Structure 1
């Protein structure tokens, strides 16, 4: 089998993890990111690329010209735009693996662009947070080329399972799960913060523990707050795609839309510096106290 030349579009946290983890199995690894056009934003990316042996490209065209496998790992709202950009430059028979948290409709639109350009599109539903797992993060693959790619990825140590030759199925699984997981994050933040504002958290959390004894609600709360503070903007984008997914199924996405609003609100406060200096060791209460203080100032 011909050695694979990997091209990664979106050299952020996830992209960096995949580049570093897959490099030993590749003939070469390239990456391209819009941030490379900004000198200040580009420097951390250049430092990481130098450390991991990744060649940074100055355009999608340059990346696609030297890649036989292209992975798209960008923000959810950029899914189709990136596919359109890549389609203009793909080499024939290039495999395009779309990791983005987009709706089934968006994935089908992206697939049409890639396939029309002679590429082979595979959608992926990344089923949990990438950092703890690295390239072994559980992924569900979909589309007519999914089974063939799943075998290749497994040989490289990845946990990828083909679930359907029909495009949209893998994404639907991922997005319907996110209604629950990201929704639970938003619910916990709202419930815990309000409980602490009233001084009743020592009553509320034990009742949750009694009802759902398998969950450590104190530690889960800390984790949820920290993840939303760190990645709320990205999560909000995903939840807007989740809302699109629900809407594409014929339902009003009230819960998904509200979750996106909550995630965006926390992310906005984080960007303003509200949580600067908060130590994770302080538990969920440290984050809640900042939110309470902010509300009382208003």
Structure 2
């Protein structure tokens, strides 16, 4: 049973991994990280600089990242989550805690759990319930598994907003996945709604109508910029997550029509940006109108014949 954590290994040093690592290093925790992008010569230098800025020890193999640490945090993309769990299991993580914070279906978490625990490790299903950049370690996290209460106590001492949700693996992730139908769906709906409204030159009355119907959501302020920016910046990753959401829905006999469509919209938006050679960072400060104009041009005359 874990009582304190003085070192951790992070697999996946993207946005979330870097934030967790930096905030823990600031508290004196030794953080070692591995990201497979270290193998890409074009990305290696930037990854090393990010690790240096965060105070994190960046290593060149998964083995070195997980060696002699009580806690391993997996923070990769949804499509890689099970592969990473099985790779860690192959290294025989005797007594180590494996905290899987990836957004995948309960069934995928169960398969990952079987791999880790069959090889002597302790698996923790972790569901991150809000965007990490906004609240950092204070982001709500639900934990599942037999070791969830003990890990929750240890994480809280480090400033995490984590709580034990269930002793069963998959329950916490079910909350996250079902929530994502709504959250990622709202992002996808907003991109399609406002991109079309912009083409007709009626985005302002559309936003005014949305604000009148839902005055607390900020449609008259930053909400549209925020929702569309999430797609522009993370659409590829969100599409992977929505594929896992579709599995979550289908595994209980519900047709996943909306989840599948959301995955297509999220990925399609980023595909359009790639085709137009537009990077998210090219649009800072982010304004959804300028991105729509760059992708689709100025608004059209709705009476023009196609």
* TM-score calculated relative to the size of structure 1: 0.93
What is the rounded CA distance, in whole Å, between the counterparts of 1:294 and 1:102 in structure 2? 38
Counterpart check, 1:245 vs 2:287: no
What is the rounded CA distance, in whole Å, between the counterparts of 2:146 and 2:55 in structure 1? 33
What is the rounded CA distance, in whole Å, between the counterparts of 2:265 and 2:243 in structure 1? 12
> What SS does the aligned partner of 1:161 have?
strand
- Write the mapping of 1:205-216 to structure 2, written as runs, cut at 5 A: 205-216=207-218
What is the rounded CA distance, in whole Å, between the counterparts of 2:233 and 2:73 in structure 1? 24
What is the rounded CA distance, in whole Å, between the counterparts of 1:3 and 1:96 in structure 2? 13
CA separation of 1:47 and 1:82: change in aligned 2, threshold 3 A: same
CA separation of 1:4 and 1:89: change in aligned 2, threshold 3 A: farther
- Give the deviation of 1:75 after TM superposition: 0.2
Segments of structure 1 that go 5 or more residues without pairing to the other structure are none
Does the 8 A contact of 1:140 with 1:163 survive in 2?
A: yes
- Give the deviation of 1:267 after TM superposition: 1.1
Counterpart check, 1:288 vs 2:292: yes
In structure 1, what is the equivalent of residue 158 of structure 2? 156
> What SS does the aligned partner of 2:163 have?
strand
Does the 8 A contact of 1:163 with 1:170 survive in 2?
A: yes
In structure 1, what is the equivalent of residue 303 of structure 2? none
CA separation of 1:39 and 1:195: change in aligned 2, threshold 3 A: same
Segments of structure 2 that go 5 or more residues without pairing to the other structure are 301-305
In structure 2, what is the equivalent of residue 54 of structure 1? 56
In structure 1, what is the equivalent of residue 283 of structure 2? 278
Structural RMSD (CA): 2.0
- Give the deviation of 1:294 after TM superposition: 9.4
Does the 8 A contact of 2:273 with 2:295 survive in 1?
A: no
CA separation of 1:69 and 1:279: change in aligned 2, threshold 3 A: closer
What is the rounded CA distance, in whole Å, between the counterparts of 1:270 and 1:174 in structure 2? 28
CA separation of 1:52 and 1:207: change in aligned 2, threshold 3 A: closer
> What SS does the aligned partner of 2:76 have?
coil
The CA deviation string for residues 207-237 of structure 1, in whole angstroms up to 9 with x for no partner, is: 2111111111142111111121111111111
- Write the mapping of 1:70-81 to structure 2, written as runs, cut at 5 A: 70-81=72-83
Does the 8 A contact of 1:275 with 1:287 survive in 2?
A: no
The CA deviation string for residues 13-47 of structure 1, in whole angstroms up to 9 with x for no partner, is: 11111111112445521111111111221111111
The CA deviation string for residues 165-211 of structure 1, in whole angstroms up to 9 with x for no partner, is: 11111001001110000000000111111112122223222221111
Counterpart check, 1:112 vs 2:117: no
Does the 8 A contact of 2:144 with 2:168 survive in 1?
A: yes
- Write the mapping of 1:1-298 to structure 2, written as runs, cut at 5 A: 4-25=6-27, 27-218=29-220, 219-272=222-275, 273-274=277-278, 277-280=282-285, 283-293=287-297
- Give the deviation of 1:275 after TM superposition: 5.6
CA separation of 1:275 and 1:74: change in aligned 2, threshold 3 A: closer
- Give the deviation of 1:287 after TM superposition: 2.1
- Give the deviation of 1:53 after TM superposition: 2.7
What is the rounded CA distance, in whole Å, between the counterparts of 2:94 and 2:27 in structure 1? 22
Does the 8 A contact of 2:144 with 2:166 survive in 1?
A: yes
What is the rounded CA distance, in whole Å, between the counterparts of 1:67 and 1:237 in structure 2? 29
Corresponding pairs, count = 296
> What SS does the aligned partner of 1:181 have?
helix
